[in-house]
Structure 1
Amino acid sequence: MIMSRLFKMNLGGCNRKLLAVRLADFADDEGRGIYPGIKRLSDETELSERTIQRLLAEFVQEGILVVVREATGRPGVTTAYDFDLAKLFTYKAGSTGDGVSPVTDDRGVTNEQETGDTGDVDGCQGVTRTVIEPPLEPSSEREGARAGSGEGQSAVIEDRRKVDRDFKLWYRHWPTSLSDSEPAARKAWDALSADERASCIQRTPAFINAVKAIKGKFTFSSVYLSSKAWEKLDDPKSEVALPAVHNPFSRAWMAGLLAELLKAPSQNMPVPTTFQQQQLRAGGDAAEAVRRDRLQKYGWPRVNTMFTQAYDRKGVTVRPDLAALSEAFGRVDTALLQRWQAAFERRGWPWLPNTGHEWFFFPAGEPEQAITDFNDAIARERGNDDAA
């Protein structure tokens, strides 16, 4: 359904339509689940990787595409998108794209009133025409590239109108724009390369969401641009870094597990069975055993998820600050592992699943003191985030 509608739409140029149709082929009927890599899109559309990146950034900036997951840099983990179908199907070309104005013939047919040569109501009974799009690059850009080719260099001259247009679209969405210095931001924007501007447009929404998630403060737009702050999303030690997936029983995974267990247990538990209710009423060791069993099973739902996925050798996302703290974790021997298990039992925490894994990482020191020190370290990290 999405593809058939796209074929009849004017998306501002042949390259834009080609990429949009290819993305629609990946999406489900609701426009969701688009996560091909840049190289794959380039190979399948025969557009350059740079063009693919630029067009994706344009689609995101225009609201046609929504970033639902940023690439982490790990093999096989690409940026994931969803179409915003409401904005896609109401899109009007003209201010973005390849700069092609709608073509009108003497019968009043325009790009927004596409007719085709199929058998539908807009098919061969109407007017069929072929629109020849001009090249994506301006003539000055092609000539500049040819002029430098003799020296093995590409002298690409960007279309100033596109640079202006991209800046205005980006600046309008920056959180401090109403109280900011637009000339200073524009100067910083012009100092960026074309690839840096495309990356900025594509990654700024994720950066804004990350800052909001930690309740941080936004810098002036000129500072954001000149420091290329969106690159901090890839720095695991940055407070705005995106969560990464870590394998079961890795240092970061163990840090995420301890952080979850240090939270207050959930009170949303199923009603005890009739037999359990009888034991609870009787009191004593039997009642304590029921309470402990229910706490371990239902007290920390995310921990249950981590354990279930560990059996399938699937990792989970861990906050960057916890991943950074886990670098100090060390591998423990059998005797120390048994002391850790006893510490878990005293606290009513569920113990690690038996998946056949042979080594484990924990904070340095004896369990009780190590747990206290780790909890203090998390609190300091949160304090630093709030201060930022």
Structure 2
Amino acid sequence: MSGPRFSIIPAWIITDGRLKGSDLRVLCLLGTYTNKEGWCRRSQVKMADQLGCGRSTVQDSLKRLADIGVVEKQEVASADGRDSAHWYRVVLDRVVESNAFAAWDDEDEKEFGPIDGIEKGTPPAGIPAPPAGPRPAPPAGSGPAPINDSNLTPPEERREREREREDEGEENPKGIERRFRAWFAKMPGYLDDSEPNARREWNALTPAQRTECEQMTPIWLEERKKLGRTKPVAASTYLSERRWERLPDQVKTAHEKAKAQEERVTVAPYGHIWSAMRMMALLKGPKPVELPDDLLPLTARTFEIHRRISESKGLAFLAERGIVIDGKDLVFPDDFREQEYRRRIQLEGYPEVNRLNKMATERTRDQVDKRFAALASLCEFVPLGSPTFERWRDYHEQMHWPPVPEPDPKHLAGVWFPKGGPEGLGEFELAARAALGMERGDDAE
């Protein structure tokens, strides 16, 4: 396994109602890199790239986490004034000595320090590294060597490891035998059949052939029954001749379509799964959006194009962006670039959210993997106009998220949202990732 296996954070923060948006994700990311004293040195740009969000999102979360008191920051200033990664501490009630940062900086300077190899005379590529120093390796510890005894592993954990090996495609003899017995017991006439002969042929199959045999044997038996054939076929003969491969292609295709349909669930707009999927896409953060350098001249030209089509359309274009006309000139707001960035983030940064919103406005449905059905229990019904609904509306505006399209009250009296309101989003994300079997860095699609 590559990379950290655990993230160390204090347990009390998980249910803290002050967490917003991606705060818990940022905290968990810091927790994966902390040293034994609870500190790590991370670049905000790298963190944003890992989390798939903007740097401003990471900055906002770090500020909020510091205000809550769960993260402490130690700024690092480079000698030439360029940006440098800072130290962050996930507060774990540990005291750090005053000289600790100097020692840690020596270890981390290569990764996070300013790039100035040319100025310091870094040797060009191709020159071999100097030989190792003459110092002997440190002696082994005085304690006893660890005991590698499989009997110390609990039975359930051993079984779980066996299942993991099977999932990874390893040839586990116990697993092969277990699967054989389950398959053999489903064959007609197995009570009078030769189990040793069948086992020999089963073991002679490749892993892929055994898997295909398990999947297609029920279909083969069903088709055989339709043809009125009742005489049992010896299991060893069935396996050695690979009878399941004789099934017509149209039968296999029909089976695959039926199986795929069984593994899908329907998503209705404003419902449990729709709301949970939408919130997971929002918590993932926006995709990067870039503004052109000539934003103001480009906006002015776009306005002229709209105005040639229709004067009202051109004026609506300006009103949407807060631009006013002063004689023949366009007057842009002082924060126009920032406003335009937020507007484009809503339009382009959340494609999955906008797809789900379009489903709601067009009143269409979708089919998704059935694993998303596990998210239904994480949401609650919120009536239109209720205080909780208004909190959700305000929170979307605060986070600059695409707003929730409100349903027609004649058809729907409310919308489903994650339980606990915006204050419960941290707990919702943890529960949703656990329900979907997602690990750190995974994203729901």
TM-score w.r.t. the length of structure 1 is 0.37
Highest Rg: 1 or 2? 2
Higher RCO, Cα 8 Å, sep 6+:
2
TM-score w.r.t. the length of structure 2 is 0.33
